[in-house]
Amino acid sequence: MIQINIGMFSFLKINRNIRSIRRYWNIVRVLSQYGFDNALEMLGLSDVAARGRHLFKRGALDLSRYTSAERMRMALEELGPTFVKLGQILSTRPDIIPAPFVVEFEKLQDHVASFSFDDLRDQIESELGASVEELFEVIDHVPLAAASIAQVHRARLKGGEEVVVKVRRPGVVKLVESDISAMMALAQLAERHISGSELYEPVAVMREFARTIRREMDFSREGHTIEKFRDNFKSTHWMHFPHVYWSHSSRGVLTMEYIDGIKVSDLASLQKAGLDRKVIAQRGADAFLEMVLKHGFFHGDPHPGNVFILPENRICLLDYGIVGRIDESLTSFLSDIIIAIVNRDMDQVISLLLFAGDISDSLDIRSLKRDLSHFVDGYYEVPLSDIEVGRMLLEFIEIITLYNIRIQPDLMLLAKSLVIVEGMGRSLNPDFDMVEHVRPFMEKALRRKMSPKNIYKDLSMVLSSYSSLARNLPRDLKEIINRLNRNKFKIDLEHRGLDKFNADFDRSMNRLSSSLILAALIIGSSIIMQTEKGPQFLGFPVLAFMGYVVAGLLGLWLVYAIIRSGRM
């Protein structure tokens, strides 16, 4: 029985690897099709890029009409849902990709056809273990929305509750896992071959993306996220969160309360319903800031389509697939950096950046200080009511990323979300002032930070760290000395950029060896031809004839390989 299980596991692993390789080659094909041969060569895939120029058809696409950012966006769209998701996430990371790519990736949308009701039925029954007729009194055959990961249908439970059912798309898990394997292979090639890529940690970025998209495909996590937000706002009567029906939910199906509200962007309907737009703007800003600065857990995609307004100016958020987390250290950093900017203390700003961010050895502190000073001067005489906090934070991040200072991804997500929330506030109320909403939260954060309890906590953590260092230092030093004495102290050196040289060297040696074999066949056959001994064919020695044939085939193959590589 054990042998059968091992065999099945190996078989499944082989199948998965085959799918990954097939997907890997498809990615290479699309990159070549959209003119990214140089990128393939930088990844050490020069042979693949050369082959792609001859084998992959680019059709009627005129690459000269498009920028590299536009071509990459089109390539991601053609590669499908996983790559569209990757592009959407990268659009929130201006510290990793250039600004033109950020702008283009923001245009990425899920253009996916809905799957059939029969597939929907199979998915629900497989996940919940009962027929659709047993679970629901009515379920609409036409989806409310269809996306790359799932689609949503309206339904009614047996008890009469109006709900929406979010069902995972058939086969999407296998597709995503295959894509992740191929992406990880490309990320590893980037770290190995592209000089300076270690600063952006492509493998670490891919691991974070894999974790994010796997969480998004697990709908039970989204259900628990909704309940966590509800618990955080249980004393706030004007915030509403959809009820989750766990009896009709699983990892691949999520059944929630149907929300019959008005989109926050539908200003005419809000006015017609007698709702107060100023109150809505105030409550929305306060709720978001409370998520960030009090709970450290915020909605990461608060665009107008995910914000519904209910009677009595209550706010309901939808789609909890993307959330951000701000821990105490990042909250403290935000408070300190904003205070330092307001006080125009550039030395303190730089000190905080050096402490909180990942920096390169070549950081030009003098130039950074100059650019930050110009940034602060640009806001110095601007009235507080005219300052857009989100855009100011994005501009600040843009400056520090020019100096290759890495900041936590959640801070990028926060800046983007803050811009959206602030934009909604100003559309609802032209006199909306985010600074006025931020100030009380910042004052509370400062009071909390300077409280005796917090100071004692920080001091205890510092003393504990030094105590642990003092206990472990003698043991670590002894281990190093023992390794030196036993000649077992090893230092691993990694040579970057040698892989391409090795590949080219191996290719040259193979061609040289083939040439020597070819020459030996011709000379040997010529000698045999002179002896006129052994079996004859058309009056020539058979061995000589065979030698000439093999030499001719080998010569033709060698010439073809050289021409195909594009290097004569």
As annotated, the active-site residues are 301
Tokens of 284: 């929305």
Beta-bridge partner residues of 166: 152, 254
Q: How many CA atoms lie within 13 A of 444 on its CB side?
A: 11
Residues sharing a CB contact under 8 Å with residue 93, sequence separation 6 or more, in sequence order: 102, 205, 409, 412
Answer positive or negative: Cα dihedral of 444, 449, 452, 453. positive
Answer positive or negative: Cα dihedral of 275, 278, 281, 283. negative
Q: CA-CA distance, 370 to 61, in Å (whole number)?
A: 45
Q: CA-CA distance, 81 to 88, in Å (whole number)?
A: 10
- The enclosing H or E element of 35 equals none
Tokens of 340: 């330092």
Instruction: Look at residues 246, 192, 183 and name the one whose alpha carbon lies nearest to residue 43.
Output: 192
Q: 99, 107 in Cβ contact below 8 A?
A: no
Q: CA-CA distance, 527 to 515, in Å (whole number)?
A: 18
What dihedral angle (degrees, nearest 10) is formed by the CA atoms of 255, 307, 265, 290?
180
Q: 344, 314 in Cβ contact below 8 A?
A: no
How many other β-carbons are positioned within 10 Å of the β-carbon of residue 389?
21
What dihedral angle (degrees, nearest 10) is formed by the CA atoms of 522, 524, 526, 530?
-170
Pairing of β 314-317 and β 239-240: parallel
Beta-bridge partner residues of 473: none
Pairing of β 162-168 and β 253-257: antiparallel
Instruction: Look at residues 337, 287, 318, 321 and name the one whose alpha carbon lies nearest to residue 413.
Output: 321
Collapsing DSSP states into helix, strand and coil, what is residue 352?
helix
Q: CA-CA distance, 521 to 525, in Å (whole number)?
A: 6
Q: CA-CA distance, 80 to 519, in Å (whole number)?
A: 50
Q: Residue 154: phi, psi to the nearest 5?
A: -85, 145
Cα of first residue to Cα of last residue in the chain, in angstroms, is 58
Instruction: Look at residues 398, 393, 383, 388 and name the one whose alpha carbon lies nearest to residue 424.
Output: 388
Q: Residue 566: phi, psi to the nearest 5?
A: 80, 10
